[in-house]
Amino acid sequence: MDGHKYGYNIPISDKTKSVPFDEKRRIVEEVKADFRFKEYLFGCLNCGVCTASCPSNRFFDYSPREIVQRFLEEDIEVLYDMMHEYIWACSQCFTCWIRCPFVNNPGGLVAIMREVAVRNAFEATKDLLKPYGRVLLKVMTTGNQLSADMLQPDFFPDWGPKMQDNMENLRAKRMAIPFDVGKSVKTAWEVSLETAMEMYTIWRETGIFEMLEKIDPNLYNVIMDIVEENEERYEELYEEEEE
């Protein structure tokens, strides 16, 4: 079976082979140093309940049991290699976690691995996040994931010819919705400036901005422009209230 990755057949990519071992070890150690790690990994009997329950396993070369086993074996090469493609097939449904008889959390381990991959600006994360640029922009600036103005015919060719009509007079159409939708086409619901400030504080304190800067500097600049603009508006409002 070509490219089949189950079990001990996981091929190490040439790229992973070319990375110095100490660097690969540093990355894996960073995963293991996460405070959640010891709550996510226990003993494993290779019973296969996680993999049998895994929806991604049905469609991709991805097996949660493999994640647990590689951590127990401390297989640095494979773990490092997995972080570039293999782990991104996980749908983060955590069925593995609620089914594992020994309460291992393969999905949780994948979540930590992904965060470390993003923090270390792996090439794979840049490629993977590219299609989500618009969503990321909306989420990080407004806290909304989708909004009316994100509907653009160019982006949704499969939505059919009516899409063009739907895009026209967006504002009027939205106002016609018989319940409060924030009277805005830029957000799905209204986001107060105070809420936005709190959100930016979270992004800043948790290092999300830094993470983004490494992966997508252009998107980072666009987002920071909006963030700073909002912060200035907030400052002005605050000063007015003071007076």
Partner 1 sequence: MAKSVLVIGGGPAGLSAARALGKLGVPTVLVEKENKLGGRPVLESYHTLIPRKMTPSQVLGPYIEDVQSNGNVRIMLGTEIEACEGEAGDFKVSLSNGEKLEVSAIVVATGFQHFDSRRKGELGYGIYPDVITNLQLEQMFSKEGRLYRPSNGELPKRVAFVFCVGSRDRQLGVTNVHCCRYGCALSGLQASEIREKYPEVDVFCYYMDVRTYGTWEYPFYWAPQEEYGVRYVRGRIAEITFNPADGRLRVKHEDTIVQRPAEIPMDLVVLVLGMEPSPGTKKVAKILGLKQDPDSRFIVPSDESGSNIRSNKEGIFIAGACKGPIDIESSMAEGEAAAMEVLNFLGAKVTV
Q: Residue 43 and residue 140: Cα distance in Å, rounded?
A: 38
**Amino acid, single-letter form, for residue 218:** N
Q: Pattern 87-126, binding to partner 1, x per CB under 8 A?
A: -----------xxxxxx-----------------------
Helix (H, G, I), strand (E, B) or coil at 236: helix
Tally the C-alpha atoms within 13 A of residue 237's C-alpha that lie toward its C-beta.
Answer: 10
Binds partner 1 by CB under 8 A, chosen from 48, 160, 207, 217: 48
Closer residue to partner 1 (CB): 53 or 120: 53
Largest CA distance in the chain: 73
| Contact call for residue 59 and partner 1 (CB under 8 A) | no
Binds partner 1 by CB under 8 A, chosen from 25, 32, 37, 49: 49
Binds partner 1 by CB under 8 A, chosen from 16, 28, 65, 199: 65
CB-CB neighbours of 11 under 10 Å: 11
Site stretch for partner 1 (CB under 8 A), options 23-31, 42-50, 212-220, 222-230: 42-50
Q: Could you tell me if 29 and 100 are in contact, meaning their C-beta atoms sit under 8 angstroms apart?
A: no
- Output the six-digit token pair for 187: 């957000």
Interface residues toward partner 1, by CB under 8 A: 6-7, 45-53, 57-58, 63, 65, 98-103
